[in-house]
Protein backbone atom coordinates (compact mmCIF):
# COMPACT_ATOMS: atom_id res chain seq x y z
CA UNK A 1 0.00 0.00 0.00
CA UNK A 2 1.39 3.39 -1.04
CA UNK A 3 1.69 6.20 1.45
CA UNK A 4 0.26 9.50 0.19
CA UNK A 5 2.23 12.70 0.85
CA UNK A 6 0.63 15.09 3.32
CA UNK A 7 -0.09 18.57 2.07
CA UNK A 8 2.40 21.28 3.10
CA UNK A 9 0.76 24.20 4.87
CA UNK A 10 1.52 27.87 3.99
CA UNK A 11 3.81 28.40 7.00
CA UNK A 12 5.81 25.24 6.31
CA UNK A 13 6.06 26.12 2.63
CA UNK A 14 7.37 29.59 3.46
CA UNK A 15 9.98 28.12 5.81
CA UNK A 16 11.05 25.61 3.15
CA UNK A 17 11.45 28.33 0.53
CA UNK A 18 13.52 30.46 2.91
CA UNK A 19 15.70 27.44 3.71
CA UNK A 20 16.25 26.70 0.02
CA UNK A 21 17.16 30.30 -0.72
CA UNK A 22 19.61 30.44 2.17
CA UNK A 23 21.11 27.11 1.12
CA UNK A 24 21.51 28.32 -2.45
CA UNK A 25 23.09 31.56 -1.27
CA UNK A 26 25.38 29.55 1.01
CA UNK A 27 26.50 27.42 -1.93
CA UNK A 28 26.87 30.41 -4.24
CA UNK A 29 29.06 32.10 -1.64
CA UNK A 30 31.17 28.92 -1.47
CA UNK A 31 31.56 28.90 -5.24
CA UNK A 32 32.51 32.59 -5.25
CA UNK A 33 35.11 31.98 -2.54
CA UNK A 34 36.49 29.00 -4.44
CA UNK A 35 36.80 31.00 -7.64
CA UNK A 36 38.52 33.80 -5.74
CA UNK A 37 40.89 31.23 -4.33
CA UNK A 38 41.64 29.91 -7.83
CA UNK A 39 42.50 33.41 -9.07
CA UNK A 40 44.83 33.97 -6.13
CA UNK A 41 46.41 30.54 -6.57
CA UNK A 42 47.07 31.21 -10.26
CA UNK A 43 49.10 34.31 -9.31
CA UNK A 44 50.89 32.38 -6.51
CA UNK A 45 49.20 34.54 -3.89
CA UNK A 46 48.97 31.52 -1.61
CA UNK A 47 47.99 33.41 1.54
CA UNK A 48 44.82 34.71 -0.10
CA UNK A 49 44.20 31.40 -1.81
CA UNK A 50 44.32 29.51 1.48
CA UNK A 51 41.91 31.98 3.10
CA UNK A 52 39.38 31.75 0.26
CA UNK A 53 39.67 27.98 -0.05
CA UNK A 54 39.17 27.53 3.69
CA UNK A 55 36.03 29.68 3.50
CA UNK A 56 34.66 27.66 0.58
CA UNK A 57 35.72 24.33 2.08
CA UNK A 58 33.98 25.16 5.34
CA UNK A 59 30.78 25.58 3.32
CA UNK A 60 31.26 22.09 1.88
CA UNK A 61 32.81 22.96 -1.48
CA UNK A 62 34.58 19.74 -2.55
CA UNK A 63 36.84 21.40 -5.10
CA UNK A 64 38.14 23.80 -2.47
CA UNK A 65 38.73 20.90 -0.08
CA UNK A 66 40.73 19.13 -2.79
CA UNK A 67 42.84 22.23 -3.44
CA UNK A 68 43.55 22.55 0.26
CA UNK A 69 44.76 18.97 0.19
CA UNK A 70 47.14 19.88 -2.64
CA UNK A 71 48.47 22.95 -0.83
CA UNK A 72 49.10 21.14 2.46
CA UNK A 73 50.71 18.25 0.63
CA UNK A 74 53.06 20.53 -1.33
CA UNK A 75 53.57 23.09 1.42
CA UNK A 76 52.24 25.97 -0.68
CA UNK A 77 51.46 28.95 1.56
CA UNK A 78 51.36 26.64 4.60
CA UNK A 79 53.71 24.36 6.45
CA UNK A 80 53.75 21.02 4.62
CA UNK A 81 51.46 18.66 6.52
CA UNK A 82 50.56 15.29 5.02
CA UNK A 83 47.97 14.52 7.69
CA UNK A 84 46.03 17.72 7.01
CA UNK A 85 46.37 17.06 3.28
CA UNK A 86 44.90 13.59 3.72
CA UNK A 87 42.04 14.95 5.84
CA UNK A 88 41.07 17.52 3.20
CA UNK A 89 41.41 14.98 0.39
CA UNK A 90 39.14 12.60 2.27
CA UNK A 91 36.41 15.23 2.71
CA UNK A 92 36.56 16.00 -1.01
CA UNK A 93 36.85 12.33 -2.01
CA UNK A 94 33.72 11.47 -0.02
CA UNK A 95 31.90 13.99 -2.23
CA UNK A 96 33.15 12.23 -5.36
CA UNK A 97 35.86 14.73 -6.34
CA UNK A 98 37.96 12.56 -8.62
CA UNK A 99 41.30 14.33 -8.14
CA UNK A 100 40.96 13.96 -4.37
CA UNK A 101 40.08 10.28 -4.68
CA UNK A 102 43.21 9.67 -6.74
CA UNK A 103 45.46 11.72 -4.45
CA UNK A 104 44.10 10.00 -1.36
CA UNK A 105 44.90 6.67 -3.04
CA UNK A 106 48.47 7.84 -3.68
CA UNK A 107 48.89 8.84 -0.03
CA UNK A 108 47.69 5.43 1.15
CA UNK A 109 49.93 3.68 -1.36
CA UNK A 110 53.01 5.64 -0.26
CA UNK A 111 52.16 5.95 3.41
CA UNK A 112 52.20 9.76 3.31
CA UNK A 113 50.45 11.13 6.41
CA UNK A 114 48.65 7.81 6.72
CA UNK A 115 49.59 4.27 7.63
CA UNK A 116 50.57 2.64 4.34
CA UNK A 117 47.61 0.60 3.20
CA UNK A 118 47.58 -0.85 -0.31
CA UNK A 119 43.98 -2.01 0.01
CA UNK A 120 42.80 1.51 0.76
CA UNK A 121 45.03 2.86 -1.98
CA UNK A 122 43.50 0.48 -4.51
CA UNK A 123 39.97 1.27 -3.26
CA UNK A 124 40.37 4.99 -3.88
CA UNK A 125 42.16 4.44 -7.20
CA UNK A 126 39.24 2.29 -8.29
CA UNK A 127 36.68 4.97 -7.37
CA UNK A 128 38.56 7.54 -9.46
CA UNK A 129 39.29 5.06 -12.24
CA UNK A 130 35.61 4.24 -12.62
CA UNK A 131 34.99 7.94 -13.16
CA UNK A 132 37.44 7.80 -16.08
CA UNK A 133 40.44 9.41 -14.37
CA UNK A 134 43.41 8.21 -16.44
CA UNK A 135 46.09 8.53 -13.74
CA UNK A 136 44.00 6.43 -11.39
CA UNK A 137 43.42 3.83 -14.11
CA UNK A 138 47.17 3.66 -14.70
CA UNK A 139 47.90 3.36 -10.96
CA UNK A 140 45.26 0.66 -10.50
CA UNK A 141 46.83 -1.24 -13.38
CA UNK A 142 50.16 -1.35 -11.54
CA UNK A 143 48.41 -2.49 -8.36
CA UNK A 144 47.25 -5.52 -10.35
CA UNK A 145 50.71 -6.07 -11.86
CA UNK A 146 52.28 -6.09 -8.38
CA UNK A 147 49.39 -7.83 -6.63
CA UNK A 148 49.12 -5.01 -4.09
CA UNK A 149 45.83 -4.05 -2.49
CA UNK A 150 43.85 -6.29 -4.87
CA UNK A 151 42.62 -9.86 -4.66
CA UNK A 152 45.68 -11.22 -6.45
CA UNK A 153 48.20 -10.41 -9.14
CA UNK A 154 46.25 -10.22 -12.38
CA UNK A 155 47.85 -9.13 -15.65
CA UNK A 156 44.56 -9.33 -17.52
CA UNK A 157 43.01 -6.76 -15.19
CA UNK A 158 46.14 -4.64 -15.44
CA UNK A 159 45.93 -4.78 -19.22
CA UNK A 160 42.35 -3.52 -19.19
CA UNK A 161 43.07 -0.58 -16.89
CA UNK A 162 46.24 0.35 -18.78
CA UNK A 163 44.26 0.27 -22.01
CA UNK A 164 41.57 2.62 -20.68
CA UNK A 165 44.20 5.12 -19.60
CA UNK A 166 46.27 4.68 -22.77
CA UNK A 167 43.27 5.40 -24.96
CA UNK A 168 42.95 8.75 -23.16
CA UNK A 169 46.53 9.58 -24.13
CA UNK A 170 48.27 8.77 -20.85
CA UNK A 171 51.91 8.21 -21.89
CA UNK A 172 52.84 6.11 -18.88
CA UNK A 173 49.88 3.84 -19.51
CA UNK A 174 50.76 3.53 -23.19
CA UNK A 175 54.24 2.36 -22.22
CA UNK A 176 52.88 -0.01 -19.55
CA UNK A 177 50.31 -1.47 -21.94
CA UNK A 178 53.10 -2.23 -24.39
CA UNK A 179 55.17 -3.74 -21.60
CA UNK A 180 52.38 -6.16 -20.59
CA UNK A 181 51.84 -7.17 -24.23
CA UNK A 182 55.56 -7.84 -24.68
CA UNK A 183 55.85 -9.79 -21.43
CA UNK A 184 53.06 -12.15 -22.43
CA UNK A 185 52.32 -12.92 -18.78
CA UNK A 186 48.76 -14.22 -18.47
CA UNK A 187 47.88 -12.40 -21.71
CA UNK A 188 48.69 -13.26 -25.34
CA UNK A 189 52.09 -11.86 -26.35
CA UNK A 190 51.56 -9.29 -29.08
CA UNK A 191 54.64 -7.44 -30.32
CA UNK A 192 52.72 -5.70 -33.10
CA UNK A 193 50.20 -4.01 -30.79
CA UNK A 194 52.93 -3.29 -28.24
CA UNK A 195 54.96 -1.56 -30.92
CA UNK A 196 51.99 0.64 -31.83
CA UNK A 197 51.55 1.82 -28.23
CA UNK A 198 55.25 2.33 -27.69
CA UNK A 199 55.47 4.29 -30.93
CA UNK A 200 52.70 6.65 -29.80
CA UNK A 201 54.33 7.23 -26.42
CA UNK A 202 57.86 7.42 -27.80
CA UNK A 203 56.96 10.10 -30.32
CA UNK A 204 55.68 12.21 -27.40
CA UNK A 205 58.92 11.79 -25.48
CA UNK A 206 58.24 8.87 -23.11
CA UNK A 207 61.80 7.61 -22.49
CA UNK A 208 60.89 4.06 -21.48
CA UNK A 209 58.83 3.68 -24.64
CA UNK A 210 61.70 5.07 -26.70
CA UNK A 211 64.01 2.48 -25.17
CA UNK A 212 61.41 -0.26 -25.74
CA UNK A 213 61.06 0.73 -29.38
CA UNK A 214 64.84 0.66 -29.78
CA UNK A 215 64.92 -2.79 -28.18
CA UNK A 216 62.31 -4.03 -30.68
CA UNK A 217 64.39 -2.81 -33.63
CA UNK A 218 67.57 -4.29 -32.15
CA UNK A 219 66.02 -7.70 -31.41
CA UNK A 220 63.62 -7.80 -34.40
CA UNK A 221 60.55 -8.10 -32.18
CA UNK A 222 57.44 -7.12 -34.12
CA UNK A 223 59.56 -5.19 -36.65
CA UNK A 224 62.31 -5.89 -39.15
CA UNK A 225 65.71 -5.74 -37.46
CA UNK A 226 67.20 -2.29 -37.99
CA UNK A 227 70.22 -1.28 -35.89
CA UNK A 228 70.16 2.30 -37.18
CA UNK A 229 66.58 2.73 -36.04
CA UNK A 230 67.47 1.07 -32.75
CA UNK A 231 70.33 3.53 -32.26
CA UNK A 232 68.04 6.47 -33.04
CA UNK A 233 65.51 5.53 -30.36
CA UNK A 234 68.17 4.52 -27.83
CA UNK A 235 69.79 7.93 -28.34
CA UNK A 236 66.52 9.75 -27.61
CA UNK A 237 65.96 7.76 -24.43
CA UNK A 238 69.61 7.93 -23.37
CA UNK A 239 69.58 11.71 -23.69
CA UNK A 240 66.76 11.71 -21.13
CA UNK A 241 68.83 9.63 -18.73
CA UNK A 242 67.29 6.20 -19.33
CA UNK A 243 69.93 3.81 -18.01
CA UNK A 244 68.98 0.81 -20.14
CA UNK A 245 69.12 2.98 -23.26
CA UNK A 246 72.52 4.37 -22.28
CA UNK A 247 73.86 0.84 -21.85
CA UNK A 248 72.30 -0.35 -25.12
CA UNK A 249 73.67 2.62 -27.04
CA UNK A 250 77.09 1.86 -25.60
CA UNK A 251 76.77 -1.74 -26.78
CA UNK A 252 75.92 -0.61 -30.31
CA UNK A 253 79.00 1.63 -30.40
CA UNK A 254 81.21 -1.14 -28.98
CA UNK A 255 80.06 -3.55 -31.68
CA UNK A 256 79.56 -1.10 -34.55
CA UNK A 257 75.88 -1.93 -34.98
CA UNK A 258 73.86 0.86 -36.62
CA UNK A 259 76.63 3.35 -35.77
CA UNK A 260 80.33 3.63 -36.53
CA UNK A 261 82.33 1.39 -34.18
CA UNK A 262 83.77 3.59 -31.44
CA UNK A 263 85.05 2.14 -28.16
CA UNK A 264 85.59 5.55 -26.58
CA UNK A 265 81.98 6.55 -27.16
CA UNK A 266 80.88 3.15 -25.89
CA UNK A 267 82.82 3.77 -22.67
CA UNK A 268 81.11 7.16 -22.23
CA UNK A 269 77.64 5.62 -22.40
CA UNK A 270 78.57 2.60 -20.28
CA UNK A 271 80.03 4.92 -17.66
CA UNK A 272 76.87 7.04 -17.43
CA UNK A 273 74.71 3.99 -16.76
CA UNK A 274 77.30 2.22 -14.58
CA UNK A 275 77.70 5.18 -12.25
CA UNK A 276 73.92 5.15 -11.69
CA UNK A 277 74.07 1.47 -10.73
CA UNK A 278 73.00 -0.49 -13.83
CA UNK A 279 74.66 -3.93 -13.38
CA UNK A 280 75.04 -4.78 -17.08
CA UNK A 281 76.71 -1.43 -17.75
CA UNK A 282 79.05 -1.99 -14.79
CA UNK A 283 80.05 -5.39 -16.14
CA UNK A 284 80.56 -4.05 -19.67
CA UNK A 285 82.66 -1.18 -18.36
CA UNK A 286 84.72 -3.71 -16.43
CA UNK A 287 85.40 -5.60 -19.66
CA UNK A 288 86.50 -2.40 -21.39
CA UNK A 289 89.03 -1.72 -18.61
CA UNK A 290 90.18 -5.35 -18.63
CA UNK A 291 90.85 -5.34 -22.39
CA UNK A 292 91.91 -1.69 -22.73
CA UNK A 293 89.15 -0.97 -25.25
CA UNK A 294 88.43 2.76 -25.37
CA UNK A 295 90.37 3.30 -22.13
CA UNK A 296 93.81 2.54 -20.75
CA UNK A 297 93.93 -1.07 -19.57
CA UNK A 298 93.45 -1.14 -15.80
CA UNK A 299 92.71 -4.44 -14.05
CA UNK A 300 91.97 -2.79 -10.73
CA UNK A 301 89.25 -0.65 -12.27
CA UNK A 302 88.01 -3.70 -14.14
CA UNK A 303 87.74 -5.57 -10.83
CA UNK A 304 85.89 -2.63 -9.25
CA UNK A 305 83.21 -2.51 -11.93
CA UNK A 306 82.82 -6.27 -12.23
CA UNK A 307 82.39 -6.47 -8.47
CA UNK A 308 79.68 -3.81 -8.45
CA UNK A 309 77.73 -5.76 -11.04
CA UNK A 310 78.43 -9.10 -9.36
CA UNK A 311 77.21 -7.89 -5.97
CA UNK A 312 73.90 -6.97 -7.58
CA UNK A 313 73.55 -10.58 -8.75
CA UNK A 314 74.51 -10.25 -12.42
CA UNK A 315 75.76 -13.69 -13.44
CA UNK A 316 78.05 -12.43 -16.22
CA UNK A 317 79.80 -10.09 -13.80
CA UNK A 318 80.13 -12.86 -11.22
CA UNK A 319 81.86 -15.07 -13.79
CA UNK A 320 84.18 -12.23 -14.84
CA UNK A 321 85.08 -11.43 -11.23
CA UNK A 322 85.70 -15.10 -10.49
CA UNK A 323 88.02 -15.30 -13.49
CA UNK A 324 90.05 -12.36 -12.16
CA UNK A 325 90.53 -14.22 -8.86
CA UNK A 326 91.38 -17.40 -10.74
CA UNK A 327 94.08 -15.67 -12.79
CA UNK A 328 95.17 -13.07 -10.23
CA UNK A 329 94.32 -10.08 -12.41
CA UNK A 330 93.69 -6.88 -10.43
CA UNK A 331 93.40 -8.97 -7.26
CA UNK A 332 95.50 -11.52 -5.42
CA UNK A 333 94.94 -14.99 -6.86
CA UNK A 334 92.43 -16.72 -4.63
CA UNK A 335 90.84 -20.01 -5.66
CA UNK A 336 88.15 -20.00 -2.99
CA UNK A 337 86.98 -16.54 -4.05
CA UNK A 338 87.01 -17.67 -7.67
CA UNK A 339 84.98 -20.77 -6.87
CA UNK A 340 82.44 -18.77 -4.86
CA UNK A 341 81.75 -16.34 -7.70
CA UNK A 342 81.73 -19.08 -10.37
CA UNK A 343 79.22 -21.07 -8.33
CA UNK A 344 76.91 -18.05 -7.93
CA UNK A 345 76.98 -17.53 -11.70
CA UNK A 346 76.71 -21.24 -12.52
CA UNK A 347 73.67 -21.68 -10.30
CA UNK A 348 71.98 -18.93 -12.31
CA UNK A 349 72.71 -20.86 -15.50
CA UNK A 350 75.59 -18.74 -16.79
CA UNK A 351 77.55 -20.92 -19.26
CA UNK A 352 80.88 -19.15 -18.60
CA UNK A 353 80.61 -19.66 -14.86
CA UNK A 354 79.64 -23.30 -15.39
CA UNK A 355 82.59 -23.91 -17.72
CA UNK A 356 85.11 -22.26 -15.40
CA UNK A 357 83.76 -24.11 -12.37
CA UNK A 358 84.16 -27.30 -14.37
CA UNK A 359 87.81 -26.41 -15.05
CA UNK A 360 88.44 -25.96 -11.34
CA UNK A 361 87.04 -29.43 -10.62
CA UNK A 362 88.91 -30.99 -13.54
CA UNK A 363 92.28 -29.53 -12.57
CA UNK A 364 91.82 -29.57 -8.81
CA UNK A 365 92.29 -25.81 -8.47
CA UNK A 366 91.44 -25.08 -4.85
CA UNK A 367 89.04 -28.03 -4.92
CA UNK A 368 89.45 -31.77 -4.70
CA UNK A 369 89.82 -33.03 -8.26
CA UNK A 370 86.49 -34.48 -9.35
CA UNK A 371 85.98 -35.45 -12.99
CA UNK A 372 82.34 -36.37 -12.46
CA UNK A 373 81.51 -32.90 -11.14
CA UNK A 374 83.66 -31.32 -13.84
CA UNK A 375 81.84 -33.24 -16.56
CA UNK A 376 78.51 -32.17 -15.08
CA UNK A 377 79.40 -28.48 -15.36
CA UNK A 378 80.94 -28.90 -18.84
CA UNK A 379 77.73 -30.60 -20.01
CA UNK A 380 75.49 -27.88 -18.61
CA UNK A 381 77.63 -25.17 -20.22
CA UNK A 382 77.93 -26.95 -23.59
CA UNK A 383 74.15 -27.35 -23.75
CA UNK A 384 73.96 -23.56 -23.97
CA UNK A 385 76.38 -23.40 -26.87
CA UNK A 386 79.68 -22.88 -25.04
CA UNK A 387 82.10 -24.47 -27.54
CA UNK A 388 85.11 -24.71 -25.19
CA UNK A 389 82.98 -26.52 -22.63
CA UNK A 390 81.85 -28.95 -25.31
CA UNK A 391 85.44 -29.73 -26.31
CA UNK A 392 86.57 -30.02 -22.68
CA UNK A 393 83.73 -32.41 -21.97
CA UNK A 394 84.59 -34.61 -24.95
CA UNK A 395 88.24 -34.74 -23.90
CA UNK A 396 87.31 -35.64 -20.34
CA UNK A 397 85.18 -38.61 -21.39
CA UNK A 398 88.31 -40.43 -22.58
CA UNK A 399 89.52 -40.42 -18.96
CA UNK A 400 86.21 -41.49 -17.39
CA UNK A 401 84.48 -44.81 -16.91
CA UNK A 402 80.96 -45.31 -18.22
CA UNK A 403 79.57 -45.41 -14.68
CA UNK A 404 81.15 -42.04 -13.90
CA UNK A 405 79.69 -40.51 -17.05
CA UNK A 406 76.26 -41.87 -16.12
CA UNK A 407 76.60 -40.36 -12.64
CA UNK A 408 77.54 -36.99 -14.13
CA UNK A 409 74.50 -37.12 -16.41
CA UNK A 410 72.32 -37.96 -13.41
CA UNK A 411 73.67 -34.86 -11.65
CA UNK A 412 72.92 -32.77 -14.75
CA UNK A 413 69.32 -33.92 -14.66
CA UNK A 414 69.14 -33.27 -10.94
CA UNK A 415 70.48 -29.73 -11.48
CA UNK A 416 67.79 -29.04 -14.09
CA UNK A 417 65.05 -30.33 -11.78
CA UNK A 418 66.31 -28.12 -8.95
CA UNK A 419 66.92 -24.93 -10.91
CA UNK A 420 64.10 -24.92 -13.47
CA UNK A 421 61.08 -25.20 -11.22
Question: Where do the domains of the chain lie?
Answer: 27-131, 227-311
Taking the C-alpha atoms of residue 52 and residue 107, their distance in angstroms, rounded to an integer, is 25
Percent of the chain clearing pLDDT 90 (strictly above): 85
Q: Domain 27-131's class?
A: mainly alpha
Write the DSSP string, 186-215: SS---HHHHHHHHHHHHHTT-HHHHHHHHH
Residue 16 predicted with pLDDT over 50:
no
pLDDT at 29: 61
Taking the C-alpha atoms of residue 97 and residue 62, their distance in angstroms, rounded to an integer, is 6
Taking the C-alpha atoms of residue 420 and residue 417, their distance in angstroms, rounded to an integer, is 6
Chain-centre distance of CA 80, in angstroms? 29
Give the mean pLDDT of 110-117: 95
Taking the C-alpha atoms of residue 213 and residue 234, their distance in angstroms, rounded to an integer, is 8
Q: Mapping DSSP to helix (H, G, I), strand (E, B) and coil, where does residue 126 land? A: helix
The secondary structure element, H or E, covering residue 149 is none
Give 318: exposed, middle or buried? Use CB within 10 Å, 0-12, 13-18, 19+: buried
The 10s digit of each residue's pLDDT in 328-372 is 999 999 999 999 999 999 999 999 999 999 999 999 999 999 999
pLDDT at 332: 96
The 10s digit of each residue's pLDDT in 123-162 is 999 999 999 999 999 999 999 999 999 999 999 999 999 9
Same CATH topology for 27-131 and 227-311: the answer is: yes
Q: Domain 227-311's class?
A: mainly alpha
Give the mean pLDDT of 246-268: 98
The secondary structure element, H or E, covering residue 27 is helix 10-42
Residue 2 predicted with pLDDT over 70:
no
What is the CB neighbour count within 10 angstroms for residue 180? 24
Q: Are 180 and 158 in contact (CB under 8 A)?
A: yes
Amino acid sequence: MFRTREKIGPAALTFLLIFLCLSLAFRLDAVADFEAGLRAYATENYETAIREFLSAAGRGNGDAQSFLGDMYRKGEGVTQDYQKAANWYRRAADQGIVDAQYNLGVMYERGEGLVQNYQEGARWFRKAAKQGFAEAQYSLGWMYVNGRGVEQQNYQEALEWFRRAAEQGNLHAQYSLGWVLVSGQEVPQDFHEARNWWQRAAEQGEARAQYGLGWMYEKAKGVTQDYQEAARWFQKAADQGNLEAQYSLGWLYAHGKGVAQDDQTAVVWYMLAAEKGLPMAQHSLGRMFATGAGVAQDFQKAEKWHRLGAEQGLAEAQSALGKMYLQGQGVRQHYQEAEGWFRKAADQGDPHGQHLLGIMYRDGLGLEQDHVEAYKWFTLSAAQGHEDAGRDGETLTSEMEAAHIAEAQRRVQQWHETHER
